[in-house]
């Protein structure tokens, strides 16, 4: 039987890295991560093979959380596909409006990691495709004539909200996007 002594080094590292890579960017130093997690240097390389592996794993974890957040948001909005899709932008308004909002983690990672072979890119790409699929499913249920096209437009609006939320805080981009999302849904009738 294994003794329960709180989260192990692997968990602590993921937790601290999730925090620090968000506030400081993926350029944070390994030393800072180790210190924040109170973990030995060696543990990082044992568990993740290196900094890149840790970053990729952090993103894998947060994408799963964020995808679940989308699902939860839509579930809470009821059965109507239209209401469920618009609810996403209300949720974005909350997120972008938080005082500690520092931009989209995935967009920042993709722009910061110049190497196209970095494992993080595959993680973010898959995530975006899953969210796109989420939107498309609702659009199909809504009876939209071009669900694939419209899903791409909604995703573009989400990207715009997250970008504008970071670079032009206080301009209420989520509400603007919600209005445009309404046009997208109406256009499919």
The residues binding its own copies (CB under 8 A) are 23-25, 27, 103, 106-108, 110-112, 114, 124-125, 128, 149, 152-153, 155-164, 166-168, 171-173, 176-177, 179-180, 183-184, 187
Q: What is the smallest separation between the CB atom of 73 and its own copies, expressed in angstroms?
A: 20
Of 22, 161, 152, the closest CA to residue 91 belongs to 161
Binding site for DNA (CB under 7 A): 1-3, 8-10, 27-32, 38-43, 45-47, 50-52
153 binds, among DNA, its own copies, none (CB under 5 to 8 A by kind): its own copies
Asked if 124 and 109 count as a contact pair (C-beta separation under 8 A), the reply is yes
Asked if 147 and 136 count as a contact pair (C-beta separation under 8 A), the reply is yes
Nearer to DNA among residue 36 and residue 95 (C-beta):
36
For 149, half-sphere exposure in the C-beta direction (CA atoms, 13 angstrom radius) is 7
How far apart, in whole angstroms, are the C-alpha atoms of residue 117 and residue 70?
Answer: 28
Nearer to its own copies among residue 11 and residue 144 (C-beta):
144
Nearer to DNA among residue 7 and residue 78 (C-beta):
7
Q: What is the smallest separation between the CB atom of 55 and DNA, expressed in angstroms?
A: 9
Asked if 51 and 44 count as a contact pair (C-beta separation under 8 A), the reply is yes
How far apart, in whole angstroms, are the C-alpha atoms of residue 105 and residue 118?
Answer: 15
Nearer to DNA among residue 31 and residue 100 (C-beta):
31
């Amino acid at each position: 039987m294994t003794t329960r002594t709180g989260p192990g080094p692997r968990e602590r590292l993921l937790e601290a890295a999730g925090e620090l890579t968000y506030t400081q960017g993926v350029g944070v130093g390994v030393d800072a991560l180790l210190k924040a997690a109170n973990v030995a240097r060696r543990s990082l390389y044992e568990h993740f093979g290196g900094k890149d592996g840790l970053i990729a794993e952090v993103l894998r974890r947060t994408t799963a959380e964020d995808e679940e957040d989308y699902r939860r948001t839509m579930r809470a909005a009821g059965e109507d596909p239209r209401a469920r899709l618009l609810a996403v932008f209300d949720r974005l308004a909350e997120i972008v409006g938080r005082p500690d909002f520092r931009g989209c983690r995935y967009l920042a990672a993709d722009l910061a990691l110049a190497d196209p072979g970095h494992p993080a890119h595959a993680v973010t790409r898959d995530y975006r495709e899953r969210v796109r699929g989420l939107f498309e499913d609702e659009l199909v249920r809504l009876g939209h004539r071009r669900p694939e096209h419209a899903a791409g437009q909604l995703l573009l609006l989400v990207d715009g909200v997250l970008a504008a939320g970071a670079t032009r805080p206080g301009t209420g981009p989520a509400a603007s996007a919600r209005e445009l999302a309404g046009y997208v849904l109406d256009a499919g009738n």
